[in-house]
Amino acid sequence: MKIRSMAAILAATVVLPFAAANATDLEVTHWWTSGGEAAAVAELAKAFDATGSKWVDGAIAGSGGTARPIMVSRITGGDPMAATQFNHGRQAEELVEAGLMRDLTDVATRENWKDIIKPASLLDSCTIDGKIYCAPVNIHSWQWLWLSNGAFETAGVAVPKNWDEFVAAAPALEKAGIVPLAVGGQPWQAAGAFDVLMVAIAGKDVYQKVFGDKDEEVAAGPDIARVFKAADDARRMSKGTNVQDWNQATNMVITGKAGGQIMGDWAQGEFALAGKVAGKDYTCLPGLGVTEVIATGGDAFYFPLLEDEEKSKAQEVLASTLVSPAVQVAFNLKKGSLPVRGDVDLAAANDCMKKGLEILAKGNVIQWVDQLLSADSQKQKEDLFSEFFANPSMTPEDAQKRFVDIIASAE
């Protein structure tokens, strides 16, 4: 309590001098810094500037892992920005519980977000104790297998249609000197690939039981053992990747040095940048071609509580701008992600995006792990899987045991 009141005093000293300046300058922090991402942010800024306020861009380079600690420490340290990006889910949960975030329920009810935002789980992730605290802006899904058509041609095998065919084709790829599966060295890539394997191979229900209900018995059971078996295959197939960043791994697929990669739909931007055409140069298999689902993870904007009246009003304007149909279309086309509302038309979308929209329309959606597990459990999982993928002497059984421990201690 004491700390919070101290923080409030500190906040007051910092906020007051700024109040004298133009009150409707809103600083917005985010970690969208690559070419395509920056173009997408420019769309948001343009739309917000048109409402008479001013978007002050606060991009933080170096992906979410670097940016989030900075954002959190600014908010907890009493120097809050006017709005900030997080992945919707549990990343901002404690900030909300500590009363540092602005309640958006008024805007949400006025504009009827409950009915327009599809799927509804997006808004659920923004809701804590019945109040809405964030404005979702896009859907990014992880469940994609990107395959290089050229690599399979070189190896003399047909492009696989699902995970099992891919595993079967691996020896032929290796013989041709191609790494079958590119997995970059950053910990989140290994952990993400495992989560994708889990929902694809064990199915939606098991996935929900393990990550949603934190059911230890299911996590220790035969379904998950099968997933670890597949992860073992993936580990063998990824040997020799030797790159760190996800886009370097994607680049191996683009240049035909690797057969495929399990990566989110943001990889699409890399293919597009390299001038590759979906279906001709590369193939995308949602849900690894086994279970066609997509997770509704993605980005959302949160609004820290500010003292300034006018700024608070501008925050509401920004929130409603972000979910408005025109902004949703312009932003998501540039970003390569899916819109958060079903009533907009994305005619310009490419084949892979259309596949995603179709799955979304069918309602084959799951909540992503960010929405189900705390950042703490996620980090433990990252540690486990980065070790598992780098260390061939670790057996799938041992890894599963440690996985069960993580699930058991998850909150």
Partner 1 sequence: MTGQAHTGRPSKLLRNLSSKIASIPMMLTAVVIFLGGTIWTVVYSFTNSKLLPRAKFVGFDQYERLWDAPRWIVSIQNLAIYGAFTLVFSLVIGFLLAALMDQKIRFENTFRTIFLYPFALSFIVTGLVWQWILNPEFGVQSVVRSLGWTSFTFDPLYNADIVIYGVLIAGLWQGTGLVMCLLLAGLRGIDEDIWKASRVDGIPMWKTYLFIVIPMMRPVFITTLVIIASGIVKVYDLVVAQTSGGPGIASEVPAKYVYDYMFQAQNLGQGFAASTMMLVTVAIIIVPWAYLEFGGRKRV
Q: How many CB atoms lie within 10 A of CB 2?
A: 6
d(CA 70, CA 313): 25
Task: Tell me the one-letter amino acid at 389.
Answer: F
Whichever of 337 and 400 has its CB closer to partner 1, that residue is: 400
Q: How many Å is the maximal CA-CA distance in the chain?
A: 69
Whichever of 97 and 310 has its CB closer to partner 1, that residue is: 97
Whichever of 343 and 376 has its CB closer to partner 1, that residue is: 376
Q: Does the protein bind partner 1 through residue 409 (CB under 8 A)?
A: yes
Q: Which residues contact 313 (CB under 8 A, 6 or more apart)?
A: none
Nearest in space to 84 (alpha carbons), one of 29, 14, 134? 29
From 113, 207, 388, 403, residue interacting with partner 1 (rule: CB under 8 A): 388
Report the nearest approach of partner 1 to the CB of residue 113 (Å): 26
Q: Does the protein bind partner 1 through residue 72 (CB under 8 A)?
A: yes
From 29, 85, 186, 367, residue interacting with partner 1 (rule: CB under 8 A): 186
Q: Does the protein bind partner 1 through residue 328 (CB under 8 A)?
A: no
Whichever of 89 and 298 has its CB closer to partner 1, that residue is: 89
Q: Does the protein bind partner 1 through residue 255 (CB under 8 A)?
A: no
- DSSP 8-state code for residue 343: T
Report the nearest approach of partner 1 to the CB of residue 20 (Å): 30
Task: Tell me the one-letter amino acid at 127.
Answer: T
Q: Which residues contact 9 (CB under 8 A, 6 or more apart)?
A: none
- Please check whether residue 95 is in contact with residue 76, taking contact to mean a CB–CB distance below 8 angstroms: yes
Whichever of 294 and 384 has its CB closer to partner 1, that residue is: 384
- Please check whether residue 264 is in contact with residue 141, taking contact to mean a CB–CB distance below 8 angstroms: yes
| Residue given tokens 């985010």 in the structure block | 30
Segment interacting with partner 1, rule: CB under 8 A, options 120-128, 225-233, 287-295, 384-392: 384-392
Beta bridge partners of 283: 147
Segment interacting with partner 1, rule: CB under 8 A, options 68-76, 128-136, 250-258, 310-318: 68-76
Report the nearest approach of partner 1 to the CB of residue 275 (Å): 25
Q: Burial level of 177, CB count in 10 A (0-12/13-18/19+)?
A: exposed
d(CA 102, CA 345): 31
- Please check whether residue 181 is in contact with residue 250, taking contact to mean a CB–CB distance below 8 angstroms: no
Encoded one letter per residue, x for contact with partner 1 by CB under 8 A and - for no contact, window 156-185 reads -----------------------------x
CA distances from 13 to 6, 18, 19, 309, 335 (A): 11, 10, 11, 16, 38
Report the nearest approach of partner 1 to the CB of residue 141 (Å): 22
Q: Does the protein bind partner 1 through residue 387 (CB under 8 A)?
A: yes
Whichever of 69 and 171 has its CB closer to partner 1, that residue is: 69
Report the nearest approach of partner 1 to the CB of residue 383 (Å): 5
Report the nearest approach of partner 1 to the CB of residue 216 (Å): 16
From 160, 187, 256, 356, residue interacting with partner 1 (rule: CB under 8 A): 187
CA distances from 50 to 53, 99, 370, 408 (A): 7, 31, 33, 50
Q: How many CB atoms lie within 10 A of CB 279?
A: 11
Whichever of 367 and 378 has its CB closer to partner 1, that residue is: 378
Chain positions contacting partner 1, by CB under 8 A: 3, 65, 68-69, 72-73, 76, 91, 93-95, 98, 185-187, 242, 244, 374-376, 378-380, 383, 386-391, 402, 409
